[in-house]
Amino acid sequence: MRTRPLKVALLGCGVVGSEVARIMTTHADDLTARIGAPVELAGVAVRRPDRVREGIAPGLVTTDATALVKRGDIDVVVEVIGGIEPARTLITTAFEHGASVVSANKALLAQDGAALHAVAEQHGRDLYYEAAVAGAIPLIRPLRESLAGDKINRVMGIVNGTTNFILDAMDSTGAGYQEALDEATALGYAEADPTADVEGFDAAAKAAILAGIAFHTRVRLDDVYREGMTEVTAADFASAKEMGCTIKLLAICERAGDGASVTARVHPAMIPLSHPLASVRGAYNAVFVESDAAGQLMFYGPGAGGSPTASAVLGDLVAVCRNRIGGATGPGESAYAALPVSPMGDVVTRYHISLDVADKPGVLAQVATVFAEHGVSIDTVRQSGKDGEASLVVVTHRASDAALTGTVEALRKLDTVRGVASIMRVEGE
Amino acid sequence: MRTRPLKVALLGCGVVGSEVARIMTTHADDLTARIGAPVELAGVAVRRPDRVREGIAPGLVTTDATALVKRGDIDVVVEVIGGIEPARTLITTAFEHGASVVSANKALLAQDGAALHAVAEQHGRDLYYEAAVAGAIPLIRPLRESLAGDKINRVMGIVNGTTNFILDAMDSTGAGYQEALDEATALGYAEADPTADVEGFDAAAKAAILAGIAFHTRVRLDDVYREGMTEVTAADFASAKEMGCTIKLLAICERAGDGASVTARVHPAMIPLSHPLASVRGAYNAVFVESDAAGQLMFYGPGAGGSPTASAVLGDLVAVCRNRIGGATGPGESAYAALPVSPMGDVVTRYHISLDVADKPGVLAQVATVFAEHGVSIDTVRQSGKDGEASLVVVTHRASDAALTGTVEALRKLDTVRGVASIMRVEGE
């Protein structure tokens, strides 16, 4: 066994970084045995150097992250700062100075993954980021290695724990969105500013990363259709229950049409209670993968938190260290398929539409005609009325998003349609 | 990109092998892009050469597997014959002649994994076997790579599709074992001789492989406690339902006591309906993993079948080919921890015991005394009686298997205990 230790620089020492440092210390013997050489924490870049960091020698702590990644003797840089800058520049500098990089930075990978992979490849170094998607759940490695001999057709998952916690609370207690969000905030599942989670930005970044890996195609954050879950109501959950469904915020990446293009999207959707994703509770994540040969797979586990994310970071750290010792690199970016990303209008799925309509004869016929004119086939209709007002719930067969949008626009113009109360996609059938 | 193709020899062309050959042909361009070089099917060893094999050039087919693996120009041997011999000798010969090996052979890996890994390492070659456990579900790679920086404490799974199909049928229809087995046989889920499945031999081989990888320790098939599921009755399912449980055949590998040893076992067990493994239906497999940092993870998918198994084989093939091009090898055997395997008597879990007892006063006191004398603490007791006979259902707190065995032996000696109707472990709480 080689005895010169591999030197690791840690950028960021918050919830995840401190766990990475702790496990590197407490599991040092195991890591040495699994890697084939000791790993040594060579420096920790932080913003607030005066904060006491248990188990980290004060001499390792620095505020000068740039100097740390430029040292030249660093084998692996672990980036757990998050955000675009300074993370992007630091990672690029790390590659230029001979280090491989393990990152948990979904926003950066979704935006600049291709460029970072190119720099890594140019310098013959590894860029690993299992922790960027679905926390501790092994997902990047299974998709890009275990399924490397298969053809993935769809990746559909719950990849944001905060929104799943809120939706699960709404489902189980009948609470409204604001009440459930307040509970999530009080319990520490939602941040003070929950925008990135509830508006789907976090899930969209993960969808871009997953789609890129699954389809061997560059998918940028801008390519991902995104709809948050702030407008999901208790009434939507009641409608979902009537259909034997629940509501989840899903990231869905799939081949479109004849497989010549791909789509990626994040939005709330109804899914049947019998679907494995329906029973994913609380802040857990789960990702459902469909491929030609393997069929249907699901990966389930904690999607966030210091320890779970550190587990994923350390798995990557072991792999990258093993590669360095062996003089090899792991799989880099695979974007050879270069499929176009189709717009949301091309997505084909089912829809659940609630309309407020006038309670008089002929309304259903009018509405049904509009659907037919736009080529959207109706599966079921349920009508209920009181006091001159009525509601009409239409569930469609599969239709394109463009056709559905056209249908809804036309419905809004009908005198007898007072309003479109909700439109929700139905997935997982 | 390198253009000399990598040469693959396929040993066996049954349900799995023919799928591997088919996908190698239909997905040739994708495989080339993902590997960085074309892969070429250089030979297919079969027992019956006269059978027509669609898509395989007749000139590639041979009955002389030994000559094929000795050719010297083979880069990767894919072994999907199964069984101990001739597979073991062929794999060893393949390494000696410079090939890496991808195998789906759980029986061989469980029995001789250490020896085969040693030969592979001696010749600087790879031995990969994702398909040996849980078919298409990525499990070996996540355990030995994704979780390489974590400490796995328990692996508990449904790793045999045939028995899960039978138990699921008994659960949902109330059928007895024989009736459910007959249905499984008629539908092709059970073989004409179902012994390997229903007696737990297949699951035990997988448990040995999983325990070895999870705990970095050699665990042989003989180390695995094994109990089949042929004695599970409709009455057991009725009892399970009363407890809010179902019954699954589980493979359970865990650290024992203070973590200084490990245990591996296969037996039927009651698990709560709320446990993620309880809802694994039909012939699906699922494996639940608990680790220090990641927490609870679950991997779910088809555990058998030609296409799913081929997906796992091809994922390994891509990895092994990439390693060959890069002049590297992937992770070999990791058995540095060398923990002792404790006997079944040391396993600590809960128990559900049904006793037929005399229906007279004082019986419960007698029975409870026997439990107390053996240090087995009772959680609940339910008594029901008619016509002078009574039954007593005892659910215990956690106790060692040895203590429980002693308790049951003593119970059998009581005059008032007419018989021990069933003993079932309770897991997943």
Place of tokens 């939706």: A167
Whether the per-residue pLDDT at A258 is higher than 90: the answer is: no
Residue type, B290: E
Length of chain A: 429
Measured between alpha carbons, how far is B423 from B419 in angstroms, rounded to an integer?
11
Residue at A258: amino acid letter: D
* Alpha helices (runs of H) in B274-305, residue ranges in sequence order: none
Pairing outcome for strands B284-291 and B152-158: antiparallel
Contact list, B324 vs chain A (CB under 8 Å): none
Question: Is residue A340 situated within a structural domain?
Answer: no
Give the whole-angstrom CA distance, residue A339 versus residue B149. 35
Residue appearing with tokens 């509405």? A367
Same domain? For A120 and A158 the reply is: no
Q: What is the tens place of the pLDDT at every residue in A34-71?
A: 999 999 999 999 998 888 778 889 899 999 999 999 99
Sorted by sequence, the CB contacts under 8 Å of residue B164 that are 6+ apart come out as B158, B248, B249, B280, B281, B282, B283, B284, B285, B303
> Residue B1: inside a domain, yes or no?
no
B39 shares its domain with B121 = yes
| B77 phi and psi angles, rounded to 5 deg | -100, 125
Kindly provide the residue ranges of all beta strands, DSSP E only, lying in A218-281, ordered along the sequence.
225-226, 245-256, 261-272
Between β-strands B100-103 and A61-62, what pairing exists: parallel, antiparallel or unpaired? unpaired
B282 with B360, same domain: the answer is: no
- Give the separation between CA A316 and CA A310, rounded to whole angstroms: 10
From CA A140, how far away is CA A211, in angstroms rounded? Answer: 11
In Å, how far are A259, A313, B29 from B100, measured between CA atoms? 34, 29, 22
Whole-number Å distance between alpha carbons of B68 and B43: 7
Burial class of residue A320, CB neighbours in 10 A (0-12, 13-18, 19+): buried
Residue B279 class from Cβ within 10 Å (0-12 exposed, 13-18 middle, 19+ buried)? middle
Q: Is residue B335 part of a domain?
A: no
Tokens representing B75?
């880069």
Q: Is A123 in the same domain as A208?
A: no
In this structure, are A282 and A377 located in the same domain? no
User: Which alpha helices (DSSP H) does B123-218 contain, by range?
Assistant: 140-141, 161-173, 177-186, 195-198, 201-215
Top residue of A121, A288, A311, A313 to mutate, by most chain B CBs within 10 Å, is A311
Question: CATH number, domain at A158?
Answer: 3.30.360.10
Tokens representing residue A78 in the block: 């672990």
B76 & B166 share domain: no
* Amino acid A156: pLDDT: 98
* CATH code of the domain containing A368: 3.30.70.260
In this complex, the residue of A130, A146, A148 whose CB is nearest that of residue B34 is A148
> Which of the residue ranges A198-207, B100-109, B201-210, B254-263 would you say has the lowest mean pLDDT?
B254-263
* Catalytic residue of the set A206, A248, A360, A386: A206
Which domain-ending residue is among B287, B302, B317? B302
Quick one: CA dihedral A358, A363, A369, A375, positive or negative?
A: positive
Determine the Cα–Cα distance for residues A334 and B36; give it in Å rounded to an integer: 10
pLDDT digits (tens, 9 = 90+) for A131-161: 999 988 999 999 999 999 999 999 999 999 9
The contacts of residue B51 (CB under 8 Å, 6+ apart) are none
At A149 the three-state DSSP class reads coil
- Written as six digits, the tokens of A17 are 């970084």
A286 min Cα distance to partner chain B (Å) = 9
Task: Output the CA torsion sign for B139, B144, B146, B148.
Answer: positive
Give the model confidence (pLDDT) of A283-298 as tens digits: 999 999 999 999 999 9
Output the average pLDDT for chain A: 94
Provide the β-strand partners of residue A67.
Answer: none
* Same domain flag for B184 and B59: no
What sign for the dihedral angle of Cα A184, A189, A190, A191?
A: positive
pLDDT at A361: 84
What's the CA angle centered on A150, arms A147 and A156, to 5 degrees?
A: 65
Indicate yes or no: CB of B317 within 8 angstroms of CB of A149: yes
Inside any domain, residue B387: yes
Last residue of a domain, one of A265, A292, A326: A326
Is residue A342 domain-resident? no
Q: Rounded to whole angstroms, how far apart are CA atoms B53 and B50? A: 9
Q: What is the DSSP letter of A343?
A: P
Asked if residues A133 and A285 have their Cβ atoms less than 8 Å apart, the reply is no
In tens, the pLDDT along B70-100 reads 999 999 999 999 999 999 999 999 999 999 9
Radius of gyration of chain A (CA): 24
Residue A64: domain span: 6-136+306-326
Segment B3-28 shows an average pLDDT of: 94
**Rounded-to-10 torsion of CA A374, A379, A382, A388:** 10
- Shared domain check, A235 and A165: yes
Q: Per the CB < 8 Å rule, is A23 touching B327?
A: no
**The pLDDT of residue B4:** 86
Can you state the angle between helices B306-326 and B15-26, rounded to 10 degrees? 60
Measured between alpha carbons, how far is A105 from A313 in angstroms, rounded to an integer? 11
* Omega cis (within 30) before B86: yes
Assign B397 to helix, strand or coil.
coil
Q: What is the C-alpha separation between B350 and B346, in angstroms, rounded? A: 13
CA dist B205 and A316 (Å) reads 29
A48, A58, A387, B398 from A61: Cα distances, Å? 10, 6, 70, 46
- The predicted model gives A326-341 an average pLDDT of 92
Average pLDDT score over residue span A119-130: 97
Query: For the residues A412-426, what does the mean pLDDT come to?
Result: 95
Question: Does residue B280 sit in the same domain as residue B311?
Answer: no
In this prediction, residue A205 carries a pLDDT of: 97
A341 in any annotated domain: no
Minimum CA–CA partner of B329 in chain A = A326
Cα–Cα distance measured from residue B45 to residue B34, given in angstroms and rounded to the nearest whole number = 26
Q: What is the DSSP letter of B265?
A: E
pLDDT at A2: 61
Q: Domain of B11: which CATH number?
A: 3.40.50.720
Distance CA A24, CA B354 (A): 48
How far is the C-alpha of A273 from the C-alpha of A294, rounded, in Å? 23
Contact A334 B33 (CB under 8 A): yes
Paired tokens of A237: 């959950």
Minimum distance, in Å, between the CA of residue B154 and any CA atom of chain A: 15
CA distances from residue A121 to A99, A222, A332, A421 in whole angstroms, order as listed: 12, 24, 7, 51
% of chain B residues with pLDDT over 70: 99
Instruction: Tell whether the model's pLDDT for residue B27 goes beyond 60.
Output: yes
How much is the CA Rg of chain B, to the nearest whole Å?
Answer: 24
Pull the structure tokens for residue B138: 């990525």
Q: Of B216, B358, B239, which is closest to residue B291 (Cα–Cα)?
A: B216
Q: In angstroms, what separates the C-alpha of A314 from chain B's closest C-alpha?
A: 5
pLDDT at B2: 62
Residues from chain A that touch B292, judged by Cβ atoms under 8 A, are 307, 311
Residues B174 and B267 reside in one and the same domain: yes
Q: Three-state DSSP class for B342?
A: coil
Spatial CB neighbours of A370, under 8 Å, sequence gap ≥ 6 = A407, A410, A411, A414
Higher pLDDT, A331 or B153: B153
Highest average pLDDT, of A381-385, B245-249, B387-391, comes from: B245-249
- From the list B142, B149, B331, the residue facing A314 with the nearest CB is B149
Active site residues of B: 206
Among the listed residues A289, A246, A268, A288, the one whose alpha carbon sits nearest the alpha carbon of residue A200: A268
pLDDT for position B259? 83
* DSSP H helical ranges for A246-305: none
Q: Residues, chain B, total?
A: 429
CA A192-A177-A418 angle, to 5 degrees, is: 135
Query: Is the domain of A293 the same as that of A317?
Result: no
Domain count, chain B: 3
Check residue B1 and give its pLDDT.
57
Name the residue in chain A with its Cα closest to that of B312: A146
> Residue A245 falls within a domain, yes or no?
yes
- Same-domain pairing of B153 and B274: yes
Q: Is residue A266 part of a domain?
A: yes
User: What is the count of residue pairs from A and B with beta carbons less than 8 Å apart?
Assistant: 192
